[in-house]
Chains A and B, each alone.
Chain A
Amino acid sequence: MGKIGKWPKKERAMRNIGNYGIIIVFLIIVVLLSIAAPTFMTYSNIITILRQVSCIGIATIGVGILIIMNCIDLSIGSMFALSGITAGLMVSTGKEGLALPAIIGIIVGIATGVVVGLFNGIIIAKGKIPPFIVTMGSMSITRGLALILAHGMPVGSFPDSFTYLGTASIDSNNLVPWSVLIFLSVILLMDFLMKRRPLGRYIYAIGGNEEAAMAAGIDTARIKIKAYLLEGGLVGIGATLLASRLKSAAPALGSGYELDAIAGAIIGGVSFLGGIGNVWGMVLGAVMIGVINNGMDLLGVQAFYKQIVKGTIIIIAVLVDRKRAGRA
């Protein structure tokens, strides 16, 4: 067989940069930060980063899957607000709250995400409208609903039973927070789903070549709806967890999260042209944004500069993506 199945040298090198370039950049940042900030490489700081990343990280996986399918969701930030508020209203012991058991709040929070995802998915798949436009619309609708439900005010007064998951750890020494554990479970579950369930394969196929997927007999509309529903559910989980951690849910919750989530997925190697990417890459992307934020906090960098650094890294990641697209 000889050459078959092997990449020409140059192309192989390009591919490897595509796959591992981000890891190298990540390691460089980690090394630099550990030198510059002695507290960076401590167990408690790492756990802090992971805890901060977990909510947005779950949403990053959601939107990453959509980007693999050559779709997008701009309504993530608003979904954070709406899900957080519906969950919060269920459990709050305040004036507006229903003071229901925490489990009801969690279910309602996640269900809210599912409903918004379903709405997006059905309109995109059945109405054949570009995802960018549909989710830009639902971004506004969802935010509006959040404002109405909360009367423009933050919802608070959550019982401890609800804030437990976001704030507590499974052990008394605070070594393994529940939120990190939930994040890890979502990662493992979604990685399995993308690799080992037909749904995952079909998502790659649609993103790689929708026409071919259709001609191969894949019901592309159905798969799209399922993917959006799944993504909505993930965002719902992330939002509920965030409300639980912050012990409140404001109508402005999660504004700008859609961009952070998309950025995380792209930095993590998901091709904006669709068809390429994996769950662990997305996680790496989300963690990388968390690490940069945390590192700059430790170094006392002004918040304004963070924006520039984050933006620069997104562009570099897409440049790497372009190189890969040029190869394929």
Chain B
Amino acid sequence: MNNDVVLEMRHIAMKFDGVQVLDDVNLTLRSGEVQALVGENGAGKSTLMKILIGMYQPTAGEIECKGNTVRFRNIKDSQEHGISMIFQEFNQVKHLTVMENIYLGREPLTKAGLMDYKAMFKQSKQLLESMGVEISPNMYVRELTVAKQQLVEIAKALSNKAEIIIMDEPTSALSNKEIEHLMNMIGMLKRAGKSIIFISHKLEEIYRICDYVTVLRDGKHIYSGLLNGLDEKDLIKMMVDREITEMYPKEKVNAKDIVLEVKGLARNHEFQNINFEVREGEILGLAGLMGAGRTEVIETIMGIRKADSGEIFIRGKRIRNRLAADAIKNGILMAPEDRKKNGLVLKLTVKDNLLMSALRKCVKAGYIRHNLEKQYAEYYIKELNIRGTLNQICSTLSGGNQQKIVLGRVLNADPDLIILDEPTRGIDVKTKSEIHKLMSDLAKRGKAILMVSSEMGEILGMSDRIVVLHEGEQMITLKREEADANIIMQYAMGKKEVLVV
């Protein structure tokens, strides 16, 4: 490894809607270096990389690329400076061939101004061969495996003369053998003097392939240094070490009858052999990093996805949910992760959304009674302190208020089991503590709550017990008093034997 600095990001800061996502972050990359970028979900890794490739403009800070200060206004700018990012979902046109994808947007032309397929074929073939990859440039991308699609993306980056390649969790969808191949490929790129930023949640890979590491936590730069000699547990400690303030008020409730029991639940390529139960008055936290399969598990319980094997019981009775509508009949309701995508109908009013899951309550003698609607909707607006009016269109409300409406909708249907997927993501601190208080109250009233959260503080503060997933595998179930951020993180990153610090 030589020590020529190819990239320096200095004092990068980023604000989204007034929320500080990155604060004074530095990153230095040298040629021929593989640098790991690590941190919990939401630590700011992706934001930092999107700033680097010009997708976002930082609120402060500067980027120096090969000695010149640069400002990237878009992805094309950064590509011209030799920076390419391999996204988790590759940006490929599946119905075009490999070579057409490699040269998309900069196709070689003949003198007559037509597409020069011959040159395109020759050059892509050369490129792919030089990478030691057996893919014909003529194949359609849709015919390739995920691993091969990824290689095409790398080929595209190289054909773009990329010097810096960013890989965002490149191994998450690969088999062991494919990972091996990718590791070799990274080694080869490194020897060719390319620099790589490697975002990963897997300790084993990081230690195997990376030279250098940068740790982010809550948008702040925590550490940069050689990986060699850095202890695994020290690395994890840097990722999770923070004061956990007592903003989470989950009160202890004596858990009673089992409401939900999941036995041996599995879905191909997503998760295997998941077992847990949730009791009345209990909040069960489902912890794990991005791609661990948490959302997939709860969507399967809801009937949005179909299980390949395993059983689900509600109060001891086996249930089969084909649809979310079935789950509701069985007393399960979910507040989804993405409010805008499937939590709310943004075009409709506050009232419509609040009542949607239990509209029957407002129907008497065959039609909807306005007075009942008003009564229920106003109750939840007051109860949840929603800053909006009955007939306001939901798209005009803030994220926190939208989330409260989703919760109100769930409460109005009065389920036995409430599933909350990232209940407070992207929500201001005050609303967040209101929602936490509400969750605690619900548990006290005997509801069973299953919560997915990427926020360590929320998991630790709100859960009575915590199930940790890693790559679709249930690593352990921890009691509240057994858990701390360090232990959870070690399991979440795939360590089977956890060292207590």
Residue numbers in B under 8 Å from A209 (CB-CB)? 342, 344-347
Q: Which of A192, A198, A204 contacts B348 (CB 8 A)?
A: A204
13 A-B residue pairings within 8 Å (CB atoms): A4-B387, A4-B388, A5-B388, A5-B389, A7-B396, A198-B359, A208-B346, A209-B346, A214-B323, A215-B324, A217-B328, A218-B356, A219-B325
Q: Does B334 contact A275, Cβ atoms closer than 8 Å?
A: no
Q: Does B333 contact A212, Cβ atoms closer than 8 Å?
A: no
Residue numbers in A under 8 Å from B302 (CB-CB)? 215
The reply on B409 being an interface residue by CB < 8 A is: yes
Q: Which of B348, B387, B396, B413 contacts A217 (CB 8 A)?
A: B413
Q: Does B342 contact A212, Cβ atoms closer than 8 Å?
A: yes
Binding site for A on B (CB under 8 A): 302, 304, 323-325, 327-328, 333-334, 336, 341-348, 352, 356-357, 359-360, 363, 366-368, 387-389, 392-393, 395-396, 409, 413
Q: In the complex, given contacts A201-B368, A208-B347, what are 9 additional A-B residue pairs having Cβ atoms less than 8 angstroms apart?
A: A5-B392, A196-B367, A197-B368, A208-B348, A213-B345, A213-B356, A217-B328, A217-B413, A275-B347
Chain A residue total in the interface (Cβ 8 A): 28
The answer for the CA separation of A306 and B413 in the assembled complex, in Å, is 53
Given contacts A275-B347, A328-B347, contact A215 B389 (CB under 8 A): no
Residue of B nearest to A276 (CB): B347
The answer for the CA separation of A207 and B226 in the assembled complex, in Å, is 54
Residue of B nearest to A198 (CB): B359
Residue numbers in B under 8 Å from A202 (CB-CB)? 359
Given contacts A208-B346, A328-B346, contact A214 B356 (CB under 8 A): no
Residue numbers in B under 8 Å from A204 (CB-CB)? 345, 347-348, 352
Q: Which of B324, B352, B366, B413 contacts A214 (CB 8 A)?
A: B324
The answer for the CA separation of A242 and B323 in the assembled complex, in Å, is 41
Q: Does B342 contact A214, Cβ atoms closer than 8 Å?
A: yes
Q: Does B333 contact A217, Cβ atoms closer than 8 Å?
A: yes
Q: Does A198 contact B357, Cβ atoms closer than 8 Å?
A: no
Q: Does B341 contact A218, Cβ atoms closer than 8 Å?
A: no
Residue of B nearest to A7 (CB): B396
Given contacts A198-B359, A198-B368, A275-B348, contact A215 B342 (CB under 8 A): yes
Q: Which of B334, B352, B393 contacts A205 (CB 8 A)?
A: B352
The reply on A211 being an interface residue by CB < 8 A is: yes
Q: Does B345 contact A212, Cβ atoms closer than 8 Å?
A: yes
The reply on A308 being an interface residue by CB < 8 A is: no
- List residues 171-224 of chain A with CB under 8 A from any CB of chain B: 192, 195-198, 201-202, 204-205, 208-209, 211-219, 221
Residue of A nearest to B387 (CB): A4
Interface of B, secondary structure class, is mixed
- List residues 81-112 of chain A with CB under 8 A from any CB of chain B: none
Q: Does A275 contact B345, Cβ atoms closer than 8 Å?
A: yes
Chain A, residues 260-304, CB within 8 Å of chain B (1/0): the string is 000000000000000110000000000000000000000000000
The answer for the CA separation of A202 and B389 in the assembled complex, in Å, is 21
Q: Does A211 contact B342, Cβ atoms closer than 8 Å?
A: yes
Q: Does A208 contact B336, Cβ atoms closer than 8 Å?
A: no
Residue of A nearest to B392 (CB): A5
Residue numbers in A under 8 Å from B367 (CB-CB)? 192, 196-197
B356 smallest CB distance to A (angstroms): 5
Q: Does A328 contact B345, Cβ atoms closer than 8 Å?
A: no
Given contacts A192-B367, A198-B368, contact A215 B334 (CB under 8 A): yes
Residue numbers in A under 8 Å from B360 (CB-CB)? 198
Residue numbers in A under 8 Å from B366 (CB-CB)? 197
B338 smallest CB distance to A (angstroms): 9
The answer for the CA separation of A195 and B348 in the assembled complex, in Å, is 13
Residue of A nearest to B370 (CB): A196
The answer for the CA separation of A221 and B327 in the assembled complex, in Å, is 16
Residue numbers in B under 8 Å from A221 (CB-CB)? 323
The answer for the CA separation of A208 and B347 in the assembled complex, in Å, is 6
The answer for the CA separation of A7 and B388 in the assembled complex, in Å, is 12
Which 8 A-B pairs give the minimum distances between C-beta atoms? Answer: A217-B328, A208-B345, A5-B389, A211-B342, A208-B347, A275-B347, A219-B325, A196-B367
Residue numbers in A under 8 Å from B396 (CB-CB)? 7
The answer for the CA separation of A212 and B338 in the assembled complex, in Å, is 10
Q: Does A4 contact B341, Cβ atoms closer than 8 Å?
A: no
A10 smallest CB distance to B (angstroms): 13
Residue numbers in A under 8 Å from B336 (CB-CB)? 212, 215
Residue numbers in A under 8 Å from B409 (CB-CB)? 216
The answer for the CA separation of A211 and B343 in the assembled complex, in Å, is 8
Residue numbers in A under 8 Å from B392 (CB-CB)? 4-5
- List residues 1-50 of chain A with CB under 8 A from any CB of chain B: 1, 4-5, 7
Residue numbers in A under 8 Å from B363 (CB-CB)? 198
The answer for the CA separation of A7 and B393 in the assembled complex, in Å, is 10
A324 smallest CB distance to B (angstroms): 10
B49 smallest CB distance to A (angstroms): 28
The answer for the CA separation of A192 and B369 in the assembled complex, in Å, is 12
Q: Does B324 contact A217, Cβ atoms closer than 8 Å?
A: yes
Residue numbers in A under 8 Å from B345 (CB-CB)? 204-205, 208-209, 212-213, 275
Residue numbers in B under 8 Å from A214 (CB-CB)? 304, 323-325, 342
Q: Does A215 contact B352, Cβ atoms closer than 8 Å?
A: no
The answer for the CA separation of A202 and B327 in the assembled complex, in Å, is 18
The answer for the CA separation of A208 and B346 in the assembled complex, in Å, is 7
The answer for the CA separation of A212 and B328 in the assembled complex, in Å, is 14
The answer for the CA separation of A276 and B395 in the assembled complex, in Å, is 14
B242 smallest CB distance to A (angstroms): 33
Q: Which of B342, B359, B395 contacts A201 (CB 8 A)?
A: B359
The answer for the CA separation of A219 and B46 in the assembled complex, in Å, is 37
Residue of B nearest to A15 (CB): B393
Residue of B nearest to A214 (CB): B324
A200 smallest CB distance to B (angstroms): 8
Q: Which of B302, B328, B359 has the most CB of A within 10 A?
A: B359
Residue numbers in B under 8 Å from A196 (CB-CB)? 367-368
Q: Which of B325, B344, B387 contacts A212 (CB 8 A)?
A: B344
The answer for the CA separation of A276 and B348 in the assembled complex, in Å, is 9
Residue numbers in A under 8 Å from B356 (CB-CB)? 201, 205, 213, 216-218
Residue numbers in B under 8 Å from A4 (CB-CB)? 387-389, 392
The answer for the CA separation of A197 and B359 in the assembled complex, in Å, is 9
The answer for the CA separation of A114 and B323 in the assembled complex, in Å, is 26
The answer for the CA separation of A5 and B401 in the assembled complex, in Å, is 13
Residue numbers in B under 8 Å from A217 (CB-CB)? 324-325, 327-328, 333, 356-357, 413
Residue numbers in A under 8 Å from B325 (CB-CB)? 214, 217-219
The answer for the CA separation of A216 and B363 in the assembled complex, in Å, is 18
A54 smallest CB distance to B (angstroms): 26
Residue of A nearest to B323 (CB): A219
Q: Which of A7, A195, A216 has the most CB of B within 10 A?
A: A216
Q: Which of A4, A195, A197, A212 has the most CB of B within 10 A?
A: A212
B288 smallest CB distance to A (angstroms): 21
B320 smallest CB distance to A (angstroms): 15
Q: Which of B347, B392, B393 has the most CB of A within 10 A?
A: B347
Q: Does B357 contact A211, Cβ atoms closer than 8 Å?
A: no
The answer for the CA separation of A195 and B327 in the assembled complex, in Å, is 27
The answer for the CA separation of A212 and B327 in the assembled complex, in Å, is 15
The answer for the CA separation of A201 and B360 in the assembled complex, in Å, is 11
